[in-house]
């Protein structure tokens, strides 16, 4: 389907009449047929304010449910028609977009690395538990596997950068948030969530990173990582990935062999 063709057809559908329900249904069916194609959805949401509003209210949510049904069911506690903290467009972006990275207060890079769409990711609730301090283990947090970005040429540290992202369930009621507030941790200055633009807390500054378990999960060393959590419970972070030695094989997923959690978690979501 041509880009301009699909966009103009969409405009006709919404502007032909005010029977919004019928048009929404048509649009829904078209996207269902297209398996919620993300580039088309992005272009559709950019056509005009009406479609942007419709995408915000309906289409991004349906994309999330289509691609990550179990994860969305867990995050919304089974009520997928409900609103979600931070909004559906932000969650859709988090699922399908690696935000790249730039230097931060506790994580220096010689150059920033740009964000990009990702074809496939694995989000894991079991991984998420490794990112929570003991007192917050009751929280539900999904975290992605790290996306590998090559280090800059000439970088003193030649390891690759791992960039990962995640999301809490019901962050407003979470122990992690309660802990951040109780400790009166300041928001990180000049930094916003790459997914919803809300202010963020540095978990390093908050001293809430269980470094050993996170490093083991990411394949990093425990002093070489940093992550942030925003007001809406989106997590994004970076680490230096330790290169695998030859006898460990080339599969990045194999470096956790001695980990008792290695058995695939039934709640893991491959999108």
Q: Which residues bind Zn ion (CB under 5 A)?
A: 98, 147, 163, 193, 195-196, 198, 230, 232, 234
Identify each DSSP E strand in the chain by its residue range: 97-98, 116-117, 122-124, 141-144, 147-149, 160-168, 200-202, 220-230, 234-241, 269-270
Q: Which is nearer to Zn ion, 65 or 191 (CB)?
A: 191
Q: How far is the CB of 193 from Zn ion (least distance, A)?
A: 3
Tell me which residue of 36, 56, 62, 46 sits closest to 4, measured CA to CA: 46
The distance of Cα 210 from the centroid of its chain, to the nearest Å, equals 20
Q: Which is nearer to Zn ion, 10 or 101 (CB)?
A: 101
Q: Which is nearer to Zn ion, 198 or 242 (CB)?
A: 198
Largest CA distance in the chain: 65
Q: How far is the CB of 48 from Zn ion (least distance, A)?
A: 26
The three-state secondary structure class of 235 is strand
Instruction: Give the β-pairing of 97-98 and 116-117.
Output: antiparallel
Yes or no: say if 162 and 240 are a contact pair by the CB < 8 Å rule: yes
Q: DSSP assignment, residue 78? A: T
Q: How far is the CB of 256 from Zn ion (least distance, A)?
A: 20
Q: Which is nearer to Zn ion, 180 or 196 (CB)?
A: 196
Q: Which residues contact 123 (CB under 8 A, 6 or more apart)?
A: 68, 71, 95, 142, 143, 144, 166, 268, 269, 271
Q: How far is the CB of 6 from Zn ion (least distance, A)?
A: 28
The three-state secondary structure class of 117 is strand
Q: Which is nearer to Zn ion, 177 or 234 (CB)?
A: 234
Q: How far is the CB of 234 from Zn ion (least distance, A)?
A: 3
Q: Which is nearer to Zn ion, 191 or 242 (CB)?
A: 191
Tell me which residue of 70, 20, 10 sits closest to 41, measured CA to CA: 10
Q: How far is the CB of 247 from Zn ion (least distance, A)?
A: 27
């Amino acid at each position: 389907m041509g880009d301009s063709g699909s966009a103009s057809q969409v405009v006709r559908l919404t502007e032909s009449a005010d029977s919004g329900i019928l048009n929404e249904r048509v649009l829904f069916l078209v996207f269902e047929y297209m398996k919620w194609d993300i580039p088309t959805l992005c272009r559709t949401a950019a056509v005009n304010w009406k479609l942007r509003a419709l995408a915000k209210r309906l289409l991004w949510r349906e994309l999330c449910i289509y691609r990550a049904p179990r994860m969305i069911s867990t995050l919304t506690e089974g009520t997928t028609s409900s609103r979600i903290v931070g909004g559906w467009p932000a969650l859709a972006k988090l699922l399908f977009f690696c935000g790249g990275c730039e230097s931060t207060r506790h994580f220096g890079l010689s150059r920033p690395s740009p964000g990009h769409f990702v074809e496939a990711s694995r989000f894991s609730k079991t991984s998420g538990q490794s990112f929570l301090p003991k007192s917050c283990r009751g929280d539900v947090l999904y975290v992605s596997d790290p996306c590998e970005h090559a280090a800059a040429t000439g970088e003193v540290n030649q390891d690759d950068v791992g960039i990962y992202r995640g999301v809490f369930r019901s962050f407003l009621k979470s122990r992690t948030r309660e802990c951040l507030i109780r400790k009166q941790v300041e928001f990180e200055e000049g930094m916003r969530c790459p997914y919803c633009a809300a202010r963020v807390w540095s978990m390093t500054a908050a001293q809430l990173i269980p470094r050993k378990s996170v490093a083991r999960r990411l394949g990093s060393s425990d002093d070489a990582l940093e992550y942030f959590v925003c007001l809406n419970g989106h997590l994004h972070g970076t680490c230096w990935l330790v290169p695998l030695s030859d006898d460990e094989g080339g599969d990045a997923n194999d470096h956790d062999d001695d980990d008792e959690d290695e058995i695939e978690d039934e709640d893991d979501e491959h999108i």
